[in-house]
Structure 1
Amino acid sequence: MLSPYRRILVAIDGSDESPQVLSRAAGVLSGNDGELHLIHVIEPLALAYGADVPMDVTDLQSGLMKQAQEMADKYAGQYHVPEANVYVDMGSIEKTILDKADKIGADLIVVGSHTRSGLALLLGSTARGLVPGAHCDVLAVKVDQH
């Protein structure tokens, strides 16, 4: 028999679907001895738009980090995730999630997945991109379309 999930890393993107993803993760967590970890990754603007960003974006990025931390803390409070288990990092989304999963010894990564277009399509591809490099299970939560 497979052992239950005890350490789950939940990747949220701050969208309206984040509560669905967190709720599903909380639902598969093993009883009282399991722990949820929450991560939100911001891609550096230079990574997202190429190295030729024509201005200094330091203030903009620190503003994004502050907003992301507030959002992550809000969700952490709702799902009883200890402050020490909340991570807001800047970097390549897939690599940062995989590195954090390895570092904390996660036995499951939970991420939202949807079939949309534009920016949401890019974010949805994160779920597919995590599987090959993950050293644990990956659960792609199919989020409701509104």
Structure 2
Amino acid sequence: MSNYSKILMAVDLSEDSDTVAERALAIARNNDAALHIIHVIEPLSFAYGGDIPMDFSGIQDEIHQQADQQLEKFGTKHGVEKDRRHVVLGRPEVEIHTLAEEMGADLIVVGSHGRYGLALLMGSTANGVLHGAPVDVLAVRVG
């Protein structure tokens, strides 16, 4: 088994995130590795495909502020240093891959609901991260 030195944990800040954190923290402790957390906010324009002529910037800013606050609580609860907490805007799999490369991560830890069939085709962040990841990926079963 590889020794990991930098681990990126991707969370959606739901209750399931604690399960992902427990696994990532155990691996980080066992490998004396630095642990980073990423939470990705999808732009509202992605959800609506840009078809609605509205300015979502105020709502998007509010969502970002709430995510910052939630990640601060989550990071503090799990002992992850402030400079290792990242809230970014974009497509989750793209942003997770990008940060993993930028920080030189050698392991990405994500939660997976184990979807299959149509639910998987409709989009699974864990599946998107797995395919195309430049490093090892651990999908922790949640839910």
TM-score under structure 1 normalisation? 0.87
Residue 53 of structure 1, CA deviation: 2.9
Map 1:89-104 → 2, pairs under 5 A: 89-104=88-103
- Segments ≥4 residues shifted beyond 6 Å: 120-124
Output the amino acid matched with 1:12. Answer: V
CA offset digits 1:38-83 (Å, max 9, x no partner): 0000011112220123311111000000010111111111111111
Structure 2 equivalent of residue 39 of structure 1: 38
CA offset digits 1:2-53 (Å, max 9, x no partner): 4312211011001110111111101111547311100000011112220123
Q: Aligned partners of 2:123, 2:73: CA distance in 1, in Å?
A: 23
Structure 2 equivalent of residue 79 of structure 1: 78
Q: Aligned partners of 1:14, 1:123: CA distance in 2, in Å?
A: 21
Structure 1 equivalent of residue 19 of structure 2: 20
Note if 1:133 corresponds to 2:129. no
Structure 2 equivalent of residue 54 of structure 1: 53
Residue 122 of structure 1, CA deviation: 8.3
CA offset digits 1:85-138 (Å, max 9, x no partner): 100000111100100000000111111000469xx9689711111122111101
Output the amino acid matched with 1:6. Answer: S
CA 1:105/1:68 → structure 2, altered by over 3 Å: closer, same or farther? same
Q: Aligned partners of 2:24, 2:125: CA distance in 1, in Å?
A: 17
TM-score under structure 2 normalisation? 0.89
SS of the residue corresponding to residue 93 of structure 2 reads helix
Q: Aligned partners of 1:123, 1:109: CA distance in 2, in Å?
A: 22
In percent, how many aligned pairs have the same letter?
47
CA 1:44/1:13 → structure 2, altered by over 3 Å: closer, same or farther? same
Q: Aligned partners of 2:121, 2:56: CA distance in 1, in Å?
A: 22
Computed over aligned residues only, the root mean square deviation of the Cα atoms, in angstroms, reads 2.2
Matched positions, count: 141
Answer whether contact 1:41 1:96 (CA < 8 A) is retained: yes
